[in-house]
Chain A
């Protein structure tokens, strides 16, 4: 194992950063680990913010990621409220906004992502919210009692989860989406239509192919005006229109696209500088992709940390995964695909229990969406990992074990 005299510095104490720090120590690294974050709050888990936390079912303590004690026990030096403004890979230093120069032997960037902002007239009115941080969630929750009509801009996962939470709290919810169907870019038209109908059946008003052009109100937002001339009365607006990676730290020779570009080991284009989680763009099956989800941040952070110590021994091949809870639906999505050739449905959409597979031209399952079928989760993940062509007829038949749907496996069985 490499010993480094200068500390390992991690910039960003989100999911990826915290897991990386813990992994470094658990893997036997004895040197200093400095974990800095511009936020002043202790690291916490974000997924519950739009769900359990918003519904008041979980508290700040429940969503805390790690206690000061547990980090101290691992001798992780957590520096909160420290904003790093520049890095220099040659001198191996980072400089904070108050001028402190911090040395590092190896550097891990886990700077996360920021929300895309809506730039329209009236965006600065009271009552227009974004949901990324705990303070955002607290601000929204505190105002909910006095609010009846809420507009959600963007029918993505955050928008859908919030619509579900607000509906359960008895609010009147309008979701505004510029695309013809929600989630269709990721899940396809058929699923987009399914989730559109789900919102509608739960009493949420969904407007598609339209977008906000202005918010009106004196101090407080009172209505949202759309491109197609709609006027939607509301007392609160939540904007969820996607994220952009935080790549504000740059240095000569650091390659950045939609995120810091890293190889399969998490190394950036600069020596001793690594990146993981939301802020990184990494190679998955030959294409550089970016994933802004909890599971990826955990696994990428851990894997890259091991490589920082072990000299690139551990290529990152984890199948991307995320989940989402909306109304009475638990969604789980495995894999990554944009240009699938065919889809296969296993189960029944009417029963709200099915798995929707996305296949490439060779009949290999590239991704799958599970709706209320957690029992299939681990089998589906294996299936995607194996990268072998499947027989769509077997795949679509719920009676056939998911371990026995490969074309290859079937022939083996016959020849045996």
Chain B
């Protein structure tokens, strides 16, 4: 059910509308806010992924980094994360990024939370 606050209730989970599908192009990412969290939403090989938007190592907005296939590079110390599961591919980060469940439906992108 979609309510007026732009959220979608699926069972026990609440999803928040973050972007329209056409605003996240293939190989690109955007920064969105869900509640108090800053997230990066990216499309790789057609699928949309959402992870923390701030690097787990030091304060840096990941949207300013680069996306190469599934690798998300931080622009400050060049840590690299896998956008699919948030895991660290390359340091200096040693903590993974949180991953957020995403639903893309009828041209809209929803993120759990």
Contact = CB atoms under 8 A, between A and B. Distances in A.
Interface of A: 295, 298, 323, 332, 374-375, 377-379
A374 B77 contact: no
B2 interface: no
Contacts of B78: 378
Contacts of B77: 295, 323
B66 A374 contact: no
B61 A374 contact: yes
A220 B113 CA distance: 55
A374 B76 contact: yes
A381 to B, nearest CB: 8
B65 A378 contact: yes
Nearest to A381: B78
A101 B81 CA distance: 43
Most buried by A among B65, B73, B78, B91: B78
Contacts of B87: none
Contact of A332 (B73, B76, B91): B76
A70 to B, nearest CB: 8
8 contacts: A332-B76, A374-B64, A375-B64, A375-B75, A377-B64, A377-B75, A378-B66, A378-B75
Nearest to B60: A374
B75 A374 contact: yes
Interface of B: 60-61, 64-66, 73, 75-78, 91-92
Contacts of B64: 374-375, 377
Contacts of B91: 298
A377 B76 CA distance: 8
A277 B5 CA distance: 53
A1 to B, nearest CB: 22
Given A374-B64, A378-B65, A323 B73 contact: no
Nearest to B61: A374
Given A374-B60, A374-B61, A323 B66 contact: no
Query: Chain A's interface: helix, strand, loop or mixed, by majority?
Result: helix
Contacts of B76: 323, 332, 374, 377
A378 B60 contact: no
A375 B73 CA distance: 11
Contacts of A332: 75-76
A298 B94 CA distance: 14
Contacts of A295: 77
Contacts of A378: 65-66, 73, 75, 78
**Closest 5 A-B residue pairs measured CB to CB?**
A374-B75, A374-B64, A377-B75, A375-B64, A378-B66
Nearest to A298: B92
A397 B77 CA distance: 26
A245 B65 CA distance: 33
Most buried by A among B61, B66, B75, B91: B75
Given A377-B65, A377-B76, 7 more contacts: A323-B77, A332-B75, A332-B76, A374-B61, A374-B65, A377-B64, A379-B66
B28 to A, nearest CB: 13
B68 to A, nearest CB: 9
B77 to A, nearest CB: 7
A378 B60 CA distance: 14
A108 to B, nearest CB: 19
Nearest to B64: A374
A323 B60 CA distance: 12
B56 to A, nearest CB: 12
A303 to B, nearest CB: 13
Nearest to B91: A298
A377 B61 CA distance: 12
Contacts of A375: 64, 75
Contacts of B73: 378
Contacts of A374: 60-61, 64-65, 75-76
A375 B63 CA distance: 8
Contacts of B92: 298
A295 B60 CA distance: 15
Nearest to B62: A374
A374 B76 CA distance: 7
Contacts of B65: 374, 377-378
A323 B55 CA distance: 16
B51 to A, nearest CB: 17
